Amino acid sequence: MTDEQAGPDEQVPISWEALAAELAATRELAEHRGQESPGTWDAVAAALAARVADQPVEALPEPAPVPREPDPDHRPAPPQDPSPADVAAGDPLPGDPVPGEPAGGQPEPIAPEELHGGLEALLFVMDDPVDEETLAAALGCPVEQVRSGLAGLADGYDQRRSGLTLRKVGEGWRLYTREEHAPVVQRYLVDGQRSRLTQAALETLAVIAYRQPVTRARVSAIRGVGVDGVMRTLLTRGLVHEVGADPDSGGGLYATTPLFLERLGLASLADLPELAPFLPETAAMLDEHPDS
C-alpha cells in the first residue's frame, strides 16, 4: 500500500529497501537532468528527513553471525565449583553421599568367620548395649548381615550351653553370664571380698592413701617394684579408683574410695594417722644407706 492509498490517520512504515530505491531513482533523475549539485541533494535530504520524522521506520534486520575459525591456542576454562550463592542450603553437591547410605556405596558382605569373630570381639569390649548400626559400621558390612550374625551367635551360645549368653536389650546387644552359672560367679566375688590383702597390697594402698592422687609409675618408684597386679586387686576390691590423668605424663591418677574409709572406720582422709612415728630415724637411715 502506497502513501496515497493510506488513510489520513494511518502511518505506513517506511521500508529501508524502498528508501534506498527512492534515493537511487532520485540520483539517476538528477544525473539525467544534469542537476546534480549540493543544493539538489540538500533538498532531497530535507524532504526525506521530514518523511522519516512523520512516519515509523521498519527495524533493520539483525545481521547473521559470522562464523569464526577456532583458535588453536585457545584453552577452555576449567569448570568452577558452584559458589555458596549458587547452591541452596541443604542441596546435595555432586559426589556427596546419599543420606542413609555409607560413603562409597553399599558395603560388601564379609566372610562368616570374620563376622562372628569381629562381633564377639566388639561385644566383649563394650560396656553398654550396642546397636546393630554401630556394629555394622565398625565391621564394614551391611546391617542385615550383622543382624543375622548376631542371631546365629546367640543360637550357638545356647546350643552348646556356653557360660555366656547374647541378649538384645532395648535397641542394643550385650554379652551376659548364663544364669545357671550365677552361683559360681557369686561365690568367686564374695570369697574374693572376704580374703585378706597381701603385704604388697597393703603397702601399695598405704602409698596411695598418703600420696593421692598418684600414678602407678609413682607408686612403683616409691615401692621399688611393679604394682600392676596389686593395683588390679585394689581396683577389683573397690578400695581405689581412677580420678583423672596426670597432666605431665598422661598416666592415670588413682585415689582411695569411700569404701576404703568405711573399712578403716575413718570419717575422712584427715583422720589418717601421722606418718612421722612410723618413719625410721635419720641416723638409722644414714647407717643403712651411707651414700644417700
Domain assignment of residue 87, yes or no? no
Q: Tell me, what CATH number does 222's domain have?
A: 1.10.10.10
Tell me which residue range forms the domain holding 169. Answer: 112-179
% of residues, the chain, pLDDT over 90: 33
Is the residue at 143 inside a domain? yes
Using the 3D structure, point to which of 38, 58, 78 is the last residue of a domain: 58
C-alpha cell at 223: 615401692
Residues 170 and 213 in one domain: no
205 shares its domain with 168: no
For the chain, the average pLDDT equals: 75
Evaluate whether residue 83 is within a structural domain.
no
Q: Does the residue 89 lie in any domain?
A: no
Among the candidates 128, 151, 179, a domain finishes at: 179
Asked if pLDDT for residue 210 goes beyond 80, the answer is: yes
Is residue 212 located within the same domain as residue 171? no
Q: Taking residues 7-25, what's their average pLDDT?
A: 61
Whether 249 is covered by a domain: the verdict is yes
Structurally, the chain folds into a number of domains equal to 3
Query: By mean pLDDT, which of 16-30, 44-58, 175-189, 252-266 is the weakest?
Result: 44-58
Domain match, 226 and 263 both:
yes
> What pLDDT sits at residue 221?
92
In a domain, 75, yes or no: no
**Domain assignment of residue 271, yes or no:** yes
pTM score over 0.75? no
Whole-number pLDDT of residue 251: 87
Considering the domain boundaries, does residue 185 fall inside one? no
Residues 217 and 263 in one domain: yes
Determine which of 157-166, 230-239, 266-275 has the lowest per-residue pLDDT on average: 266-275
Final residue belonging to a domain, choices 179, 211, 226 = 179
pLDDT, tens digit, for every residue of 90-131? 555 555 554 444 555 688 999 999 999 999 999 988 878 899
